[in-house]
Structure 1
Amino acid sequence: MLKKLFSATEQQQEPPKRGASATVYGKAESSVGIKRFWRSERSSVTDEKQVTKVTRIKGRSDGAKSEPLATTGEVQRWHGIDGDWWIKPATIMTALAVFVALANYCFGSLYNWLDQPVARVTFEGNTRHLDRQHLATRSVALMNGGLLSADLHAVKAGIQENPWVYQVGVTRRWPASLYLKITEEVPVARWGSDGLLNHEGDIFWPDQTARYSALPLLKGPSGNTTMMMSEYYDLNQMLRNAGLQLVELNLEARGAWTLILNNGIKVVVGRDQVVARLERFLTVYQQRLQAEADAGRIEQIDIRYNNGIAVKWRPEAATDEQQKG
C-alpha cells in the first residue's frame, strides 16, 4: 500500500520550473521530502518492532523542535493487533489446570494403592514379660487406618501404656508390615508393696510383683527414687566386703536411713555421716559381733552414736543370757 502511495505521488510531480514557480515548486518538494521521511521512518520501526515514539518537525528544517507523533497504543495498532491477545494465556492456564488435575488423580491412586491394611507385625528385642500376640493385635487396632494413613504416634503411646515397656519405636515396612522395636523394663528392686524400680530409678507398676520377692526392697518418698537407688548401690558395695548384703533400704520423711541385712539384722544409721558410721559398724561387726549374728542372736544395731554402737538382742537370746547369769 505504501509503495502505491509513493508511486502515485511521484507521478503527480511536475517538472522543475523557473522563477516564482520554481520557488513554489521547491517548497512543495521539501514538504514531500518530509512526508517521505516520516513514512520511511514508520515502516522501518514497524519492521524492527522496537518503536517507542515518533517525532515530527515543526517550522523550518534548521533548528526545528520535535514532539511525540505516535503513542504506544498507536504503535501497537501499526503492528496489527486484532484483539486475540487472550488466546495464548487462556491456553496456558487450561493446560496447567489439566496437568494439576491429572497429577492429583495419579497421586491419589498411588496413595490408595500403598495405603494397604497391615498384614504382619515384626518385633525386635527381647519380650520376656510381654505377650507379642497381644501387642500385635493392639498395635493394629491403634493404627486406625492403612499403612500410610495410620497414626504411628497413637500406636506408640498405646503400646507405651504397658508397664513392662521401657521404650518402643514404631515404623512402617513395605509391603504392609509394621515394625516394632521394643525395649523391656528390667526390674532391679522392689518399690513399696506393689511397684518395681528399673536401673534408672523409675517406678513402674506391673501385675504379679510377688514373683520378684528376691529383689531388694526400697521404701521412701516417691520423689527420691533415683537418689535411693544410688545410695543402695554404694551401701551394698560396702557391705559385700564384710560378707553381708542389703535386702531392704528405708528412707524416712525426715531423712533418716534404716538398713535390713540378709541375716535379718536391722541397722539404724540416722541422717548424718552415713558412710562413716557404716564403716565403724563393719569394723565392730567383724571383730565382735559376727559370731553372734551368725547364731541369730542380734535383732537390731543402732550406729547413730559417735563412739560406739548399741546392740539389741533377740528375746530368746536375752532369756538364755539371764538363765546363764
Structure 2
Amino acid sequence: MVSVMRDYRHGQQPQRPAATLKEKPKAAPRTAPVKAAAKAHKPLPWKLYGKFLAGGLSISILAWGGWSGWQWLQQPSLMPINTLTITGSSPKIPLAEINTVLKPYAARGFLWANPEQIRHSLDALPWVADAEVRRVWPDRLTVNIKPYTPVARWLGGAGQMVDAQGKVFSVPPAQVPNGLPNLAGPADSGSQLLAQLAKFNSIVAPLGLKVVSLQEDQRGGWRCILNNQVRLLLGSEDVIPALKRWVAIAPQVKEYLVAGATMDLRYTNGFAVAMPSATTVNSQ
C-alpha cells in the first residue's frame, strides 16, 4: 500500500510485474466433420432412347419395304412377254429347238429376260453361228438367228466343218452335207487352208480338175487329192510354182492320171509318179 501511493504521487502508472510464463495459444475451435455431398442422381435420357428406337424401326420398315418391292418387281406377271418374234429358223435349226431354249427366259417376264444370256444359250445350238436378241418395250422379244454356212469339212473330228471365215464348228455327224472338200491342218489354220484351196483350184481348173482334199502337215508341207483321185505331194517350198509346172506337163502324161496315182512335185525340174501297182516312173 505504501509503495503504490508513492508512485501515484510522482504521477507514474504503477508497473505490472513481468510475466514469467508464456500463455498457451488458444486452440482453434473444433468443428464437426463435413460429410461428402451425396452424388446427384441423373435422370435416364428417355428422349435419346426414343430417337434410337424410332430410327431402328424406320430402318427396319424401309428394309422390309425394299425387300417386298424387290419381290414384287420379280413377278413375271408384272410385265409378261406377250410377243415373241423369231427369224432365221431352218430345217437345220428347227423352231421347236429355239423355243425350248427361249421358254425359261421368257417365263421370267420382260424385265428379267436377259438378252445376253439368251444369246449365249442359242449360240450353243448346232448350226447357230450367232444370234441377235433384243427386248422391245413393253412386252416384245425379238430373236434373229444367223446360221453357219459350211464351205469345207474339217478332218480334226467327227462332225466338224469350216465356214467361209475359216471358223471350225461342230454339228451331229449325220448332218454333215456331202460334196464338201476336206481340210486338215494345225489348229486355227482354217482361214489359211481355205485361201490355199482357192489358189490350188484356180491353177488346176484349166485341166477340168478341182481339189477335194487339202492337208498341211506340222512341218508346213502340203498335199492334196484331186477329184480324179490323183494325189499330189507339194512340199513346203515353192508350192505354187511346182503346181503350175505340173499343170503345164499333165496333158502330156495323161496315162498316169489314174485314180490312186501319187505324183511327187517336190523336184525342181520334174516330178515322180507312183502308180497304184507300185511302179515308179520318172518324168522330165
Which TM-score applies when normalising by structure 1? 0.59
Selected match of 1:315 from 268, 277, 283: 277
Gaps of 5+ in 1: 1-107
> Measured at CA, do residues 211 and 149 of structure 1 come closer, stay the same or move farther in structure 2, by a change above 3 Å?
closer
> Could you tell me how far apart the structure 1 residues matched to 2:237 and 2:174 are?
33
> Could you tell me how far apart the structure 2 residues matched to 1:212 and 1:305 are?
37
The answer for the alignment partner of 2:141 in structure 1 is 178
Correspondence list, 1:74-113, <5 A:
none
Greater gyration radius = 2
The answer for the alignment partner of 2:245 in structure 1 is 280
Selected match of 1:123 from 65, 68, 86: 86
The answer for the alignment partner of 1:269 in structure 2 is 234
Give yes or no for contact 1:143–1:155 (8 Å, CA) kept in 2: no
> Could you tell me how far apart the structure 1 residues matched to 2:100 and 2:175 are?
28
Secondary structure of the 2:195 match is helix
1:257 is aligned with what amino acid? W
Secondary structure of the 1:268 match is strand
Q: Tell me, yes or no, if structure 1 residue 299 matches structure 2 residue 261.
A: yes
Selected match of 2:224 from 259, 283, 288: 259
The answer for the alignment partner of 1:83 in structure 2 is none
Deviation (angstroms), 1:159: 0.6
Deviation (angstroms), 1:152: 1.3
Gaps of 5+ in 2: 1-70
> Could you tell me how far apart the structure 1 residues matched to 2:262 and 2:132 are?
49
**What is the CA deviation profile of residues 62-114 of structure 1, one whole-angstrom value per residue up to 9, with x for unaligned ones?**
xxxxxxxxxxxxxxxxxxxxxxxxxxxxxxxxxxxxxxxxxxxxxx9999799
The answer for the alignment partner of 2:253 in structure 1 is 289
> Measured at CA, do residues 175 and 297 of structure 1 come closer, stay the same or move farther in structure 2, by a change above 3 Å?
closer
Give yes or no for contact 1:187–1:196 (8 Å, CA) kept in 2: yes
Q: Tell me, yes or no, if structure 1 residue 155 matches structure 2 residue 118.
A: yes
> Measured at CA, do residues 156 and 297 of structure 1 come closer, stay the same or move farther in structure 2, by a change above 3 Å?
closer
**What is the CA deviation profile of residues 186-243 of structure 1, one whole-angstrom value per residue up to 9, with x for unaligned ones?**
0100001421000000000110256423100001111212111111111112111221
Secondary structure of the 2:93 match is coil
Secondary structure of the 1:241 match is helix
Give yes or no for contact 2:263–2:271 (8 Å, CA) kept in 1: yes
The answer for the alignment partner of 1:187 in structure 2 is 150
Could you tell me the percent identity over the aligned residues? 25
Give yes or no for contact 1:196–1:209 (8 Å, CA) kept in 2: no
1:196 is aligned with what amino acid? M
Give yes or no for contact 2:81–2:110 (8 Å, CA) kept in 1: yes
The answer for the alignment partner of 2:213 in structure 1 is 248
Which TM-score applies when normalising by structure 2? 0.66
1:166 is aligned with what amino acid? A
**What is the CA deviation profile of residues 273-317 of structure 1, one whole-angstrom value per residue up to 9, with x for unaligned ones?**
11100000101112x223442xx366100000001110111219x
> Measured at CA, do residues 128 and 241 of structure 1 come closer, stay the same or move farther in structure 2, by a change above 3 Å?
farther
Give yes or no for contact 2:76–2:110 (8 Å, CA) kept in 1: no
**What is the CA deviation profile of residues 231-271 of structure 1, one whole-angstrom value per residue up to 9, with x for unaligned ones?**
11111121112211100001100000001010111100000
> Measured at CA, do residues 282 and 115 of structure 1 come closer, stay the same or move farther in structure 2, by a change above 3 Å?
farther
> Could you tell me how far apart the structure 1 residues matched to 2:167 and 2:76 are?
44
The structure whose RCO (Cα within 8 Å, separation 6+) is larger is 2
> Measured at CA, do residues 126 and 113 of structure 1 come closer, stay the same or move farther in structure 2, by a change above 3 Å?
closer
Deviation (angstroms), 1:126: 5.1
2:267 is aligned with what amino acid? Y
Give yes or no for contact 2:228–2:259 (8 Å, CA) kept in 1: no
